[in-house]
A and B are shown apart, each in its own frame.
Chain A
Amino acid sequence: MKKYIRVYASLLLFNWSAMLVYRMDFFTKLMTSIIYTTYHVLAIFILTNTVSSVFSWSRNELLLLASTYSVFIGLFHAFISRNIHRLSEEIYYGRLDYMLVKPIDSQFAASLWTVDFISFFRIVMGLLLSWYFVGVLQLAITPLILLWYWVFIFVGLCILYSIWLSVISITIFNPRLSNLIDLLYHVSELTRYPQEMYQHVSMIIYPLLFPFIFILIPPTKILLQQYSVAQGIQAVSVAIAFLLVSRLIWTQSLKHYASASS
Chain B
Amino acid sequence: MQQYIQIIKNTWAEMMTYRLNFILWRVRMVLQLLVTYFLWFAIFSGQKELFGYKQSMILTYVLLSNIIRTIVLGTTTMEIGQIINNGVLSNFLIRPINFFKYYIAKDIGDKLLNFGFSLIEITILIVILRPPIFFQSSPMVIVLALIAAALGMVLYFYFSLALGIIGFWSPDIWAPRFLSFVIMEFFAGGLFPLDILPKPLFLVSQSLPFYYFIYFPLKVYLGQLTFMSMVTGFLVGLCWVGAFIYLVGKLWNKGLRVYTAEGR
What is A's interface to B at a CB cutoff of 8 Å? Answer: 22, 24-25, 28-29, 31-32, 35-36, 39, 42-43, 46-51, 54-55, 174, 176-180, 182-183, 186-187, 189-190, 193, 196-198, 200-202
Contact = CB atoms under 8 A, between A and B. Distances in A.
Contact of A190 (B35, B197, B198): B35
Given A179-B28, A200-B41, 12 more contacts: A24-B170, A24-B172, A28-B172, A28-B175, A35-B179, A42-B186, A46-B192, A190-B31, A190-B35, A193-B38, A201-B38, A202-B128
Residues of B in contact with A, size category? 35 or more
A179 B38 contact: no
Given A36-B182, A186-B31, A197 B42 contact: yes
Contacts of B20: 174, 176-177
Max count, chain A CB within 10 A of own CB: residue among B35, B42, B197: B42
A258 to B, nearest CB: 18
Given A25-B175, A35-B182, A193-B35, A178 B42 contact: no
Contacts of B25: 179, 182
Nearest to B176: A28
A49 B34 contact: no
Interface stretch (B1-9, B43-51, B111-119): B43-51
15 contacts: A22-B172, A24-B175, A28-B172, A32-B178, A35-B182, A39-B185, A51-B47, A54-B43, A177-B21, A179-B28, A190-B31, A196-B42, A197-B42, A200-B38, A202-B128
A46 to B, nearest CB: 6
A25 B172 contact: yes
Nearest to B46: A51
A97 to B, nearest CB: 24
B39 interface: yes
B175 A48 contact: no
B196 A49 contact: yes
Contacts, number: 87
A104 B25 CA distance: 35
A51 B44 CA distance: 9
B235 interface: no
A46 B43 CA distance: 12
B120 interface: no
A54 B39 CA distance: 9
Interface in B48-78: 50-51
B243 interface: no
Given A51-B47, A186-B31, A176 B18 contact: yes
Contacts of B27: 183
B182 A32 contact: yes
A197 B24 contact: no
A39 B192 contact: no
B32 interface: yes
Contacts of B42: 54-55, 196-197, 200
Contacts of B39: 47, 193, 197
